[in-house]
Structure 1
Amino acid sequence: MKSSRRTFLISSIGVASALAVSRTAFAADPVKLVESDAMAQSLGYKLDATTVDKAKFPRYAAGQDCGNCSFYQGKPTDAFAGCPMFGGKQVASKGWCNAYNKKA
């Protein structure tokens, strides 16, 4: 009987620990991409698409923003959502980068 109780206690502790760790992982705020990030700079990421230097990035056209890009992993109405171009970091819906690809 002692081994059954011991097994139960050890299992319970393991389950409780796993739940605590998973709660912490889900509770953490996603990382928002900043313009000073090295990858952001290499792709010309701007938090506000209206501030894109059109001379430096001639592909940019008015109306393009992350919210209507095929890589944006949220709804266009979400202020921020993940982007695979930046390792899943959160990008601004109103942002833009040189990897922009219009949603179909």
Structure 2
Amino acid sequence: MEKMIKVLISVFVVAVLLLETTLACECRYNIVYEGHNGHNGGSGCYMVRPASRGTACQCRPVGYAFICEGRQVDCQNRNHYLCRYPDTSKEACIFANGDCGGY
């Protein structure tokens, strides 16, 4: 019985980690109109869900449609605060060397 409980706990931990990784790092496409918040106009990706700790979220366009995808990548500087505490800011997008034109 004790062995069965350990196995169930292990399965639960793995499932939680997989879910966190699956839900991390999502990007969308945005068209920014000229004059909006002082922006000169343009379009591109923006981040809606940050990467998991220890990684960065790299946004990039997919094909020719108005679609972006997020990809978790290794941080170039693992000690940087955006690697330790990822967020959805334009700075975090730039940190991951992504397409950040939708901010």
TM-score tier (shorter): 0.3 to 0.5
Select the structure that is richer in strand: 2
Please say which structure displays the higher CA radius of gyration: 1
Select the structure that is richer in helix: 1
TM-score, normalized by length of structure 2? 0.36
